[in-house]
Amino acid sequence: MAERMLGQGQVARLLMHHRTALYGYIFACVRNHADAEDILQNVSVAVTESIGQLQDEKGFLPWAREIARRRVLAYRRQTRREQPLDPELVLRLAEASDRVEREFAAADHRAALLACLEALPVRSRQLIAMRYDGSVAGMGELAVRFGRTVQGIYAQVKRIKTVLRECVERRMSLEMQ
């Protein structure tokens, strides 16, 4: 990402993908929907203008949330509608927002994995289930049950895991579009 600049379409896609997390964080800080929307628009403009500073697309949310944190603090200084929000509280809200985002990402990852598992041939799905559900004592027992050598079972499990990893990566990248 450092070598090439993100295009406007990619920036817009990232902003849309992370809009809920950014808005939730901003709203938790300002507790007013209209103000949160205004700040989010301000953050979107700032993100678009400074996207060249982003080192890696995977770091987009923490980077954009830091911009949001600064905009929230500036908003608080400008409006002085109520007691200033403690910068430490704003930081803790950012950390909480990050945990929630990770949990949603994990749920999305789990859903993609389950869909990919369902797409496997029945025999491959059975092999993976038996390998990881604790119903067999080890690879030797799997080899006996499937009529293969232990090395053959290891190789097949490795191939299935590769197929699953690629499938999950495809599904997750499609979801981000």
Residue 110 lies in a domain: no
Please check whether residues 13 and 79 belong to one and the same domain: yes
pLDDT score for 85: 59
Please enumerate in sequence order all residues whose Cβ is within 8 A of that of 112, keeping only pairs 6 or more positions apart, or say none. Answer: 167, 168, 171, 172, 175
Please check whether residues 4 and 53 belong to one and the same domain: yes
Domain boundary among 104, 136, 158: 104
Please check whether residues 97 and 147 belong to one and the same domain: no
Contact between 125 and 167 (Cβ < 8 Å): no
Residue 115 lies in a domain: no
pLDDT score for 67: 92
Domain boundary among 49, 75, 104: 104
Please check whether residues 71 and 139 belong to one and the same domain: no
pLDDT score for 2: 38
pLDDT score for 158: 92
Tens of each residue's pLDDT in the chain, 177 residues: 333 566 677 788 888 888 888 888 888 888 888 898 999 999 999 998 888 888 777 788 888 988 998 898 888 888 765 555 566 766 676 776 666 666 666 677 788 888 888 899 999 988 988 888 878 888 899 899 999 999 999 999 999 999 988 998 888 777 655
Domain that holds residue 38: 1-104
Contact between 21 and 43 (Cβ < 8 Å): no
Residue 73 lies in a domain: yes
Domain boundary among 42, 70, 104: 104
10, 18, 11: which is closest to 68 by C-alpha?
A: 18
CATH of the domain at 3: 1.10.1740
Residue 134 lies in a domain: yes
